[in-house]
Amino acid sequence: MRTPLTLALWQCAPAPLDVPGNLARLETAAREASRAGATLLVCPEMCLTGYAIGAPAVQTLAQAADGAWAAAVAAMARRHQLAVVYGYPERDTEGRVYNAAQWIDATGLPRLNYRKAHLFGELDRSQFAAAPPSARLVELSGWKVGLLICYDVEFPEAVRALALAGADLVAVPTANMSDYDFVARSLVPVRAYENQLAVAYANFTGTEEPLHYGGLSVVAGPDGSALAQAGREETLLIATLHPDQLTQARQRAQHVRDLLALQNTQP
């Protein structure tokens, strides 16, 4: 049974190449999120290393999903009793490096590791391998939650695949630039509305040369409303999702239900 779910989005400036410093900042964010009553903290894309750091640095820094960074985040999650979704460069067993996000639960266990499927521009493609699309889910407080990373959420098929798999919430670590404010202000709420689920979109703010990040992190409710939205400043954005919001949205708009019904009638 779903119960109210309070989540925190950490909108921060990047600190490229400073993994120890970023882990220390994440510790502070986790402590503040826990004190605010959150049981889930969503961080930006590549928050542990910085995003625009170049292929050589990505290759040097990348770790396995069960590496030292995962152990450090697991210890934080246990200390502060909340789940953490963080972005990092992941090296697989064959040496490929992915733009990844990992969910570690409040007991310190890794529950879901997601690799970015849609790479944006030459910067992304020069640093990472593209992963096959994935629609796996994890459960928290009765809510079924999926992960996407930044550009992934701009593809309707990616969010719809999670909705058809049963997602109630999609968490999206992001490093989106100020030239694309439309995504946070308009597209993310539309994705939430058309799939009758919530979307938590956690962005960087500030500058990481040559990129200028837009902030505007947002928690969009399943009716398309912005339950909470940040400005340009660094902040810890807090929002609470209520089960009745989900129920009411799915009674008013039934795109996912109607699509499932149509699929079930086809030979």
CA Rg value for the chain: 17
CA angle (228 as vertex; 160, 45 as ends), nearest 5 = 60
Pairing status of strand 198-202 against strand 218-220:
antiparallel
pLDDT in tens, 140-182: 999 999 999 999 999 999 999 999 999 999 999 999 999 999 9
Looking at residue 246, which CATH number applies to its domain?
3.60.110.10
Tokens 């396995």 locate to 64
DSSP 141-191: TTEEEEE--GGGGGSHHHHHHHHHTT-SEEEEE---BGGGHHIIIIIHHHH
Cα atoms in the Cβ-side hemisphere of radius 13 Å centred on 4: 6
Average pLDDT over residues 171-197: 98
Position 266 scores a pLDDT of 66
Q: Which residues pair with 84 in a beta bridge?
A: 41, 104
Out of 12, 43, 150, 154, pick the active-site residue. Answer: 150
Strands (E) located in the chain? 5-11, 40-42, 83-91, 97-104, 110-115, 138-140, 143-147, 169-173, 198-202, 205-208, 211-214, 218-220, 226-229, 235-241
* Number of compact structural domains in the chain: 1
150 given a catalytic annotation: yes
In the predicted model, is pLDDT for residue 262 greater than 80? no
For the question of residue 116 being annotated catalytic, the response is yes
CA 68 – CA 261 distance, rounded (Å): 46
- Please give the Cα distance from 193 to 258 (Å, whole number): 14
- 203 φ, ψ (degrees, to nearest 5): -115, 160
Which residue do the tokens 């703010």 mark? 205
Please state, rounded to an integer, the average pLDDT across all residues of the chain. 96
Residue of 12, 47, 90, 116 marked active site: 116
233 belongs to the catalytic site: no
d(CA 185, CA 188): 7
Identify whether the C-beta of residue 256 lies closer than 8 Å to the C-beta of residue 164.
yes
The pTM assigned to this predicted structure is 0.96
Looking up tokens 């009411």, which residue turns up? 248
What is the domain range of residue 111? 5-265
pLDDT level of residue 257 (50, 70, 90 thresholds)? confident
Mean pLDDT of 86-109: 98
pLDDT at residue 267, rounded to an integer = 64
Q: What pLDDT digit, counting tens, does each position of 48-92 carry?
A: 999 999 999 999 999 999 999 999 999 999 999 999 999 999 999
Q: Of these residues, 45, 90, 154, 208, which one is catalytic?
A: 45
Assess contact for 238 and 8: CB atoms under 8 A: yes
Look-up of token digits 């009553």: 37
Residue 258 has pLDDT above 90, yes or no: no
CA distance 38 to 223: 22
